[in-house]
C-alpha cells in the first residue's frame, strides 16, 4: 500500500505531480538539487492552491492540509522510506541513470521507481538498478493539474505487481492511464511529433501558409490548436530534439526531421520563447 511518495525534481512537472499526490491524501517529499529550486516548486504549489481557494474550488482549510502533506528537501536520502519515487528531472539518459543508481541504493527494497520521461527507454533506465522489475514509466502531461492522461510504460522486466501498484495509484490521484510497452516516445508523443513534423513539411514544400495549415487541422479535425502554433508553444528546439530522438531510435526515414525545422532552430527562431517561430510574438 502506498502512503508516501517521493518526487525527484521540483520543476513544472515535478511540483504538479507533488500537488496532485498531496491533494489525493498522500504524504509527499519533493526533492531537488538546490534549496532555491525546491522553494520555487513549493511556491508554485501554494500559488495553485491559493487560486483554487479564490475560485471556490477548494476550502482554505483543505488547501492548508494539502500543503502540510508536502515537504521539500535537497537530500535524496530523505526518500529512503518512501513507497514510490516519481522522477521528473532533465531528459538526459545519463543523468537519469545516475539518479536511479543512487535511488536504488537509498530506497527500501520494495520501493517502485517511476520515471516521468516523455520518451526515453524505461528498459535502459532500469538497467542501471538492481530492481528492474520495480522500474516503470509514469508519463504525466503538462499541465499536470489539468491533463487527465498518464502513460504507464512497461519496461522489458517490469513486473505485473509494479504495473498494478502504479495503475492503482494513478486511479487514486484522479487520472486515467493507458498501458504502453517500452518504445521510442511511447504513444502520444510519437503520434504528436510525427503529425507536427508532417505539418512543417507541408509549410516547407509550400503547400499552404502556416495559418491555413493550422486552420485545416482546427476546423477539419477539431483540434483545439493548429500543429504549427503548437510547435511554437512547445519550443522548436525541444521539438527538434524529440523528433531526432525518434529518428535515431527507429532508424526509419519516415521520422526524419523536416529541414525547415532545423533551419529555424539554427536561426534561433524557437517559437514563443524566442519571440518568433512559425508566427511572430513580438
Residue with cell 482546427: 218
Judge whether 151 counts as a catalytic residue: yes
Judge whether 139 counts as a catalytic residue: yes
Residue with cell 512543417: 200
Distance CA 84, CA 86 (A): 7
Q: What is the phi-psi region of residue 241: left when phi exceeds 0, alpha when psi lies from -120 to 50, beta otherwise? A: alpha
Catalytic residue among 115, 151, 162, 177: 151
Buried b or exposed e, range 85-121, using 16+ CB within 10 angstroms = bbbbbebeeeebbebbebbbebbeeebbbbbbbbbbb
Contact 139, 118 (CB under 8 A): yes
Distance CA 32, CA 220 (A): 44
Judge whether 80 counts as a catalytic residue: no
| Residue 267: partners with Cβ closer than 8 Å, 6 or more residues away | none
Catalytic residue among 15, 121, 162, 189: 189
| Residue 249: partners with Cβ closer than 8 Å, 6 or more residues away | 184
Catalytic residue among 48, 115, 116, 118: 118
Tell me the three cell numbers of residue 227: 500543429
Q: What are phi and psi of 108, to 5 degrees?
A: -65, 160
Catalytic residue among 87, 116, 128, 139: 139
Judge whether 269 counts as a catalytic residue: no
Active-site residue numbers? 118, 139, 151, 189
Amino acid at each position: 500500500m502506498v502512503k508516501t511518495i517521493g518526487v525527484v525534481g521540483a520543476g513544472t512537472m515535478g511540483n504538479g505531480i507533488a500537488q496532485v499526490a498531496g491533494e489525493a491524501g498522500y504524504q509527499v517529499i519533493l526533492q531537488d538539487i538546490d534549496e532555491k529550486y525546491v522553494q520555487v516548486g513549493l511556491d508554485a504549489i501554494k500559488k495553485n492552491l491559493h487560486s483554487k481557494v479564490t475560485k471556490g474550488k477548494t476550502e482554505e482549510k483543505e488547501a492548508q492540509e494539502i500543503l502540510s502533506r508536502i515537504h521539500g528537501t535537497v537530500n535524496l536520502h530523505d526518500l529512503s522510506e518512501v513507497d514510490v519515487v516519481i522522477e521528473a528531472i532533465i531528459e538526459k539518459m545519463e543523468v537519469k541513470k545516475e539518479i536511479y543508481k543512487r535511488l536504488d541504493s537509498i530506497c527500501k527494497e520494495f520501493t517502485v521507481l517511476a520515471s516521468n520521461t516523455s520518451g526515453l527507454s524505461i528498459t535502459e533506465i532500469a538497467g542501471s538498478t538492481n530492481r528492474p522489475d520495480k522500474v516503470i514509466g509514469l508519463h504525466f502531461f503538462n499541465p499536470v493539474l489539468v491533463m487527465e492522461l498518464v502513460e504507464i510504460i512497461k519496461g522489458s522486466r517490469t513486473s505485473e505487481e509494479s504495473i498494478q501498484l502504479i495503475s492503482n495509484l494513478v486511479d487514486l490521484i484522479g487520472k486515467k492511464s493507458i498501458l504502453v510497452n517500452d518504445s521510442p516516445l511511447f504513444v502520444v508523443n510519437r503520434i504528436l511529433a510525427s503529425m507536427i513534423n508532417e505539418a512543417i513539411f507541408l509549410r516547407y514544400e509550400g503547400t499552404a501558409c502556416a495559418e491555413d495549415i493550422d486552420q485545416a487541422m482546427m476546423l477539419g479535425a477539431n483540434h483545439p490548436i493548429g500543429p504549427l502554433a503548437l510547435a511554437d508553444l512547445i519550443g522548436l528546439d525541444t521539438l527538434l530534439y524529440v523528433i531526432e530522438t525518434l529518428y535515431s531510435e527507429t532508424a526509419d526515414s519516415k521520422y526524419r526531421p523536416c529541414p525547415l525545422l532545423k533551419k529555424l532552430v539554427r536561426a534561433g527562431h524557437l517559437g514563443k520563447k524566442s519571440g518568433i517561430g512559425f508566427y511572430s510574438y513580438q
